[in-house]
């Protein structure tokens, strides 16, 4: 008996065409390396889109997952469970939070945050306070509400009618926000570091100014740390680096290290608006996800690991700068911790995706953040040797792409 080989062609035969995956299929991962069906190895600078913060198949995470898998997978929220309670208590100890809601994806955590903001305003101020302010280029997920709040019109086209009461302002433009936030505003939502929108850090003045505007107008400040949270910024959560505390924080991606789980953190007073029956999810807070996330949090909440993230940021920056001295390809290198963006010079803009393919051919996984920015989001514990080898492959990929294009 020969099993039928599973190939990339199957994707086009049986999957909805909303993704365009690369030609290779990875079958195994270890740390910051992946192997495809043919046994070819890849260095992972993509981290499953800033998700696998502790690399692939981290032994402690595998141990916790398999141990929990032997005990209890799912009970629904008709019952609570030990891993969820333990994780929620830990998140409350380590952050501003006093109450936690678990879900399964970033979009769901944001959906909960936005619904909570509307409900809180309805409970305390009446139905005139409905407006949600968000930033251009922001990304908050793909449910109809979160995609509407996101500031990238290409993601809402064709899905109208959209939920009303959402206004967009330019990111890092405090004056525009001040002109827009009013007593009708129930929440301002912002990513401290915009990920999908191009790896752009908020300025400290912007976040501080939003905090003051929200206080003045009794609006809730929501930080979307789905991508920049869980150590990626070099701090457990990016708000800690800025010294600006939100009313609600959402996180996902890195929280489960690859197991789907998300969380919405808030205060006791605000949480009261999600009273019994007002919101829910079947899988949110399931024992498997919470057990894994508990282990992830313990490993990441380590001053030494977080300091290493910032040091590796400098290693990447230095390497990318050196590559750029050779090719003059990047107009700006930016980001925070191990979320890095390389904005392409004018002549290469709108062509970021070509670098994904070129890197793959050299055995390297990278990401883009829009058409003009190459994005790197490797494991937080990637060894220096693999950073060096990955950057060598990146340089080789760029050299090939540039010579193929100019010749
Ligand atoms: C990825 C992302 C989301 C959406 O998360 P999903 O798990 O894909 O629903 C929301 N906000 C930000 C900032 C993200 O990067």
Task: Give the residue-averaged pLDDT of 12-24.
Answer: 97
149 and 199 share a domain? yes
For the segment 112-131, the average pLDDT, to the nearest whole number, is 98
Domain boundary, last residue among 240, 265, 300: 300
pLDDT at 135 over 70: yes
Residues 81 and 223 in one domain: yes
Examine the domain organization and report whether 87 and 147 are in the same domain. Answer: yes
Residue 240 domain flag: yes
Predicted confidence (pLDDT) at residue 96 exceeds the cutoff of 80: yes
Q: What's the number of CA atoms in the CB half-sphere (13 Å) around residue 404?
A: 9
Nearest to 252 by CA among 225, 279, 286: 225
| Tens of pLDDT, residues 157-175 | 999 999 999 999 999 999 9
337 and 355: one domain?
Answer: yes
Neighbours of 23 (CB within 10 A): 11
pTM: 0.98
* pLDDT tens, position by position, 355-395: 999 999 999 999 999 999 999 999 999 999 999 999 999 99
| Residue that terminates a domain, selected from 277, 300, 323 | 300
* Within-domain flag for 90: yes
Residue 407 pLDDT: 53
Q: Point out which residues pair with 375 in neighbouring strands.
A: 341, 367
Query: 282 and 146 in one domain?
Result: yes
Query: What are the structure tokens assigned to 142, written together?
Result: 């793909």
* Residues 276 and 333 reside in one and the same domain: no
Determine the average pLDDT of the residues in 258-268: 98
pLDDT at position 206 is: 98
Nearest-CA neighbor of 231 among 300, 316, 154?
300
Q: Determine, yes or no, domain membership for 63.
A: no
Identify which of 46, 47, 49, 106 to mutate to test ligand 1's pocket (most ligand atoms within 8 A of the CB).
Answer: 106
Confidence class for position 4, pLDDT limits 50, 70, 90? confident
Shared-domain flag, residues 218 and 288: yes
Q: Is 25 within the bounds of a domain?
A: yes
Please tell me whether residues 295 and 313 are part of one structural domain.
no
Pick from 231, 246, 264: nearest CA to 189: 246
- Enumerate residues 6+ apart whose C-beta is below 8 A from 240: none
Q: pLDDT tens-digit profile of 395-405?
A: 999 999 999 98
Enclosing domain of residue 333:
9-58+303-406
288 and 308 inside one domain: no
357 is catalytic: no
The one catalytic residue in 119, 129, 253, 312 is: 253
- pLDDT level of residue 3 (50, 70, 90 thresholds): confident
Query: Do residues 45 and 79 both lie within one domain?
Result: no
Domain count, the chain: 2
pLDDT in tens, 175-202: 999 999 999 999 999 999 999 999 999 9
| Residue 255 alpha carbon to ligand 1 centre in Å | 12
Identify whether 71 is a catalytic site residue.
no
Residue 406 has pLDDT above 90, yes or no: no
Would you place residue 143 in the very low, low, confident or very high pLDDT band (cuts 50, 70, 90)? very high
**Any atom of ligand 1 within 6 Å of the Cβ of 367:** no
Residue 271 has pLDDT above 90, yes or no: yes
Query: Is the per-residue pLDDT at 150 higher than 60?
Result: yes
- Does a structural domain hold residue 1? no
Whether the CB-CB separation of 311 and 337 falls below 8 Å is answered with no
* Rounded distance between C-alpha atoms, residue 189 and residue 134, angstroms: 5
Residue 90 structure tokens? 């830990």
Tell me, yes or no, whether 280 and 316 share the same domain. no
Residues 98 and 195 in one domain: yes
215 as an active site residue: the answer is no
Q: Is 44 within 8 Å of 383 (Cβ atoms)? A: no
CATH of the domain at 202: 3.40.640.10
Q: Whats the size of the chain, residue-wise?
A: 407
Domain CATH code at residue 358: 3.90.1150.10
Are 287 and 82 spatial neighbours (Cβ–Cβ below 8 Å)? yes
Instruction: Kindly state whether residue 43 falls inside one of the protein's structural domains.
Output: yes
What contacts 349, CB < 8 A, 6 or more positions away? 371, 372
Across the chain, mean pLDDT equals: 97
Q: ω into residue 381 within 30 of 0, thus cis? A: no
For residue 349, is it within any domain?
yes
Ligand 1 atom at shortest distance from the alpha carbon of 108: 9
Among 300, 322, 350, the domain-final residue is 300
Which pLDDT band holds residue 1 (cuts at 50, 70, 90)? low
Please indicate, yes or no, if residue 65 is contained in any of the structural domains: no
Q: In what order do the strands lie in the sheet with 262-266?
A: 99-103, 262-266, 248-251, 220-224, 185-190, 131-135, 166-169
Ligand 1 proximity of 196 Cβ (cutoff 6 Å): yes
């Amino acid at each position: 008996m020969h099993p039928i080989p599973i190939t990339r062609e199957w994707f086009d035969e049986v999957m909805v065409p909303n993704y365009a995956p690369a030609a290779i299929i990875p079958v195994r991962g270890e740390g910051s390396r992946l192997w495809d069906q043919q046994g070819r190895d890849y260095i992972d600078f993509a981290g499953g889109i800033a998700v696998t913060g502790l690399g692939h198949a981290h032994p402690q995470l595998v141990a916790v997952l398999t141990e929990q898998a032997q005990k209890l997978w799912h009970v629904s929220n008709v019952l609570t469970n030990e891993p969820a309670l333990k994780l929620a208590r830990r998140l409350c100890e380590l952050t501003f939070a006093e109450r936690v809601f678990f879900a399964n994806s970033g979009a769901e955590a944001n959906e909960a945050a936005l619904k909570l903001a509307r409900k809180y305003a309805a409970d305390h101020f009446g139905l005139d306070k409905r407006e949600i302010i968000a930033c251009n280029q922001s990304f908050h997920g793909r449910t109809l509400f979160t995609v509407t709040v996101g500031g990238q019109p290409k993601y809402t086209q064709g899905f109208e009618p959209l939920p009303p009461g959402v206004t967009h302002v330019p990111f890092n433009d405090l004056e525009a926000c001040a002109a827009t936030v009013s007593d009708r505003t129930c929440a301002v939502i912002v990513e401290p570091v915009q990920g999908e929108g191009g790896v752009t850090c908020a300025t400290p003045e912007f976040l501080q100014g939003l905090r003051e505007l929200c206080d003045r107008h009794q609006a809730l400040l929501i930080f979307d740390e789905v991508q920049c949270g869980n150590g990626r910024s070099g701090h457990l959560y990016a708000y800690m680096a800025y010294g600006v505390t939100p009313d609600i924080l959402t996180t996902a991606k890195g929280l489960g290290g690859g197991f789907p789980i998300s969380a919405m953190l808030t205060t006791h007073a605000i949480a009261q608006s999600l009273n019994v029956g007002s919101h829910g999810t079947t899988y949110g807070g399931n024992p498997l996800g919470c057990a894994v996330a508990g282990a992830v949090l313990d490993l990441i909440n380590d001053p030494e690991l977080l300091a290493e993230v910032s040091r590796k940021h400098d290693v990447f920056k230095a390497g990318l700068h050196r590559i750029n001295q050779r090719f003059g390809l990047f107009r700006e290198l930016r980001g925070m911790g191990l979320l890095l963006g390389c904005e392409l010079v004018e002549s290469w803009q709108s062509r970021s995706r070509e670098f994904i393919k070129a890197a793959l051919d050299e055995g390297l996984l990278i990401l883009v953040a829009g058409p003009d920015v190459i994005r790197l989001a490797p494991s937080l514990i990637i060894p220096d040797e693999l950073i060096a080898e990955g950057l060598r492959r990146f340089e080789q990929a760029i050299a090939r792409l540039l010579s193929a294009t100019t010749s």
